[in-house]
Structure 1
Amino acid sequence: MKNTARSVSCSGTSNFDLAQQESRRRFIKLSTAAMGLAAMPGSIAFAANQLTSPSAVGLQLYTLRDMMTVSLPATLKLVAAVGYKELEFAGYFGHKASEVKTILHNEGLSAPSAHIGLAEFDKGVNSVIDHALEVGHQYVVIPYLTEEQRGTGIDVYKKLAARCNVIGEACNKAGLQLAYHNHAFEFEVRNGQLPYDVLLNETDKNLMSMEMDLFWMFKANKDPLTYFRQHPGRFKLWHVKDMDEAGNFADVGTGTIDFAPIFAQSALSGVEHRFIERDKTDDKLKTIQQGYKAMSKLLA
């Protein structure tokens, strides 16, 4: 049997509780800083807000998942203060759909998309649809496949494609759109085929769109523009993520990816919503500020 007791400091406070307290303190500092920046004319946030863009700058909230765990309402207030208008959810952290919808409305935000694990669709497609519609989502995105879900061989992806057509049809009937978010493993050759190509070719384009993660495309040495030309209009959502010289995550606009040629082909790709994301960052406020600033310039 595992020892489930938490370690306790000399003061009687558990290490877990101390970590939680420290997390809350850091969150409060970040929230206070963001509010201050939004109010200061010389701030980065204010400057970014002065940029006019043809479409809204979005944020994937997975970037701030630790903060969302502490307080979803305060996190959304923070991102609104930075200037974001669109969000993509990756979990609701115990909040009901009606609560999330109210918070979004109060902060002047919208959430056109949400990541929904394949296991949630297994539990019931209709419950996923109902929740998404109540929040106000337009897209529900399969975000990731576990190693178990990936299995071996190409037939796994052929079966997934058939399943996505069924899920996508149910979503369409309700006024939603299913999408699939890539990593790099979809570009590992299986039985002479690329899983990503199978998902593109064996799903109905009207039943499943693609959310292209630009970081993972470059990580897999694939050219987004080639896919735009081969499947025009298919890539309704993007994750805008940068890469440093070592191949790791970087704040958007500070890394090696040249986003300008990609953004220039937005019409060809069919993109409707773009979300800044960084999977791992030590300075969350800096990351979302820099991302907002960089994408605003790309969209101007």
Structure 2
Amino acid sequence: MTIAPGLQLYSLREFPPLDLRLQELADLGYRKVEPYGALMTDPDGLAASIRRVGLASPTAHVGLDRLRCGMDDVLRIAETLDLEVIVVPFLQPDDRPGDTPGWMRIGAEIAGYAVKAKSAGRQLAWHNHDFEMLQLPDGSRPMEHLLAASDDVLWECDVAWVARGGEDPTDWIRRYPERIVAAHVKDIDPNGGNGEDGWADVGHGMLDWGLIVPALKAAGTRHWIAEHDKPSDGLRFAARSIETMRSW
């Protein structure tokens, strides 16, 4: 499998201007970028900036609050950015259920949005953090209920957040290969006090990519997206991470 490297633009939010950063990513060899919610105020301008440097945006993070306000607006954004996959990125702490019935309700809600996306020729996926991996009172995990709601609900597997949730990313990838449409390739620094919230450039942390990468390839993962939640140097992160991704 040939990997077309992508990068989540949230990683570069503290390093404006965006147009210059996009050009740098293209020059480094990135093929895709993944926009996030704060960039959706001007979808037309964002799409023009991305395309101007020869990049594509097949995936984007769109908050659940925006989906709840109306799928028509979300689908217009998807058309403007030429999205393949609309990704739900996060659930605020106050919105997270504490039991299985609550997560089943969230799953049913997400499944409804997935059906609407599918009718418009798009897909919908859930991006995990650590809390979806934590045991509920009955021993199940929130991620299980989200994916059980419908086969139309796909998964953007953030491998580092799976690990921070105390789980083995490779096990989960092998468990749900047909559901993983995209992956956040993110790394964890064993030195949690590194000033970057304990994250690392891809390939420069503690995750075992020798196991994770073959599992993602076997799953047929289409979109490989580098991310770092708090790099002190955005260009360093982008350059070192694409070097690692090329080695795969």
In structure 1, what is the equivalent of residue 195 of structure 2? none
Please point out which of 40, 61, 70 is paired with 2:9.
Answer: 61
Instruction: Give 2:144's aligned amino acid.
Output: D
User: Which shifted more, 248-257 or 148-157?
Assistant: 148-157
- Give me the whole-angstrom Cα distance separating, in 2, the residues matched to 1:187 and 1:121: 23
- Aligned residue for 1:278, secondary structure, equals coil
Distance 2:244 2:116 in 1: 37
Aligned pairs for 1:272-287 within 5 A: 272-287=222-237
> In structure 2, what is the equivalent of residue 227 of structure 1?
172
Aligned partner of 2:190 in structure 1 is 245
Mapping of residues 1-300 of structure 1, within 5 Å: 54-67=2-15, 70-91=16-37, 93=39, 96-192=42-138, 193-201=140-148, 203-205=149-151, 207-247=152-192, 248-298=198-248
Aligned AA for 1:190?
Answer: L
**3-state SS of 1:233 partner:** helix
How far did 1:64 drift?
A: 0.3
Query: What is the DSSP-based 3-state SS (H/G/I as helix, E as strand, rest coil) of the residue aligned with 2:37?
Result: coil
Q: TM-score, normalised by structure 1?
A: 0.77
Equivalenced residues, count: 242
TM superposition shift of 1:102? 2.0
> Is this contact kept in 2: 1:237–1:274, CA < 8 A?
yes
Where structure 2 has 5 or more consecutive residues not aligned to the other structure, the ranges are: 193-197
Structure (1 or 2) with the larger CA radius of gyration: 1
RMSD: 1.6
The alignment's TM-score, normalised by the length of structure 2, stands at 0.92
How many angstroms does 1:204 deviate by? 1.6
Give the superposition deviation at 1:187.
1.6
Identity of aligned residues (%): 30
8 Å CA contact 1:234–1:270 kept in 2: the answer is no
| Equivalence for 1:13 | none
Residue 152 (structure 1) shift: 2.5
CA, structure 1 residues 92+150, in 2 after alignment: closer, same or farther (shift >3 Å)?
Answer: closer
